[in-house]
Amino acid sequence: MLSHHLWIFFSAMLVNNFTLVMFLGLCSFIGVTGKVSVAFRLGLADTFVLIITSISATILNKWVLVHAPYLRIIAFILVIASMVQITEMAVKKWSPTLFRELGIYLPLITTNCAILALAIFQTNRGYGFLEGVTFALGAGAGLIIALSLMASVRERLELADIPTVARGTALVLFVAGGLSLAFMGFSGLLTAQ
């Protein structure tokens, strides 16, 4: 039982890393990774929303979508949008500093495809409540790792002498490609299940 949950966790965190292997949530991966501290906190906020989404998706799947499967995408996106709104209000109340630092990227979590993808994967794989939360924790940890790694590399690149042509998104994509290549090394880690 425990090994099953550990498998889900590490699979979501390393082997199928949401950003570097599955290409989810690239907007914030490219937009917010200028500074390590901000990237790390965005990762935390993402994780929080992922966990809430996973719980909501379990509830929706169990009681609502059984009767109306064609409402799946609409129901998920509506729940995610409201959850992000609640998170935004909570962060504003409890930590105004963090709220200011994250700024516009907090409401943007709604259009972060990693969140919607989590709800869809969880449904497709038929995860229960605990499995879903473990999956969300693993995916969140993976996002934090990817965002922090990217931000660390980009902080170093600030000082590097880069040809004008290569500056901007192209360079970020090459760095992401390198990181992704490194994460390919994890693909042999989990073969059981």
Partner 1 sequence: MHDLDSLHAAPSGPSTAPPFQDFAKGLWKENPVFAQMLGMCPTMAITNSVTNALAMGLATTFVLLGSGVFVSIFRKRIANEVRITTYILIIAAFVQIADMGLEALMPVSHKALGPFIALIVANCLLLARQESFSARNSVGRSALDALGMGIGFTFGLSVVGTVREILGQGTWLGLRVMPASFEPWVIMNLPPGGFFSFGFVLLGLAWWHDRRTRRAALNLRVARPSTEPLLERAV
Please give the residue ranges that form the binding site for partner 1 (CB under 8 A): 20-28, 30-32, 70-74, 77-78, 81, 104-105, 108, 110-113, 115-117, 120-121, 124, 164-166, 168-171, 173-174, 176-178, 180-181, 183-184
Which is closer to partner 1, CB of 6 or CB of 92? Answer: 92
**Residue 28 neighbours by CB under 8 Å, 6+ apart:** 42, 46, 105, 108, 109, 112, 147
DSSP symbol at 179: H
Question: Min. distance of Cβ 174 from partner 1 in angstroms?
Answer: 5
Question: Min. distance of Cβ 134 from partner 1 in angstroms?
Answer: 19
Radius of gyration from C-alpha coordinates of the chain: 17
Q: Residue 44's closest CA among 90, 75, 79?
A: 90
Question: Min. distance of Cβ 160 from partner 1 in angstroms?
Answer: 16
Which is closer to partner 1, CB of 71 or CB of 189? Answer: 71
Length in residues, the chain: 193
Question: Min. distance of Cβ 116 from partner 1 in angstroms?
Answer: 5
First to last CA, the chain: 12
Which is closer to partner 1, CB of 94 or CB of 104? Answer: 104
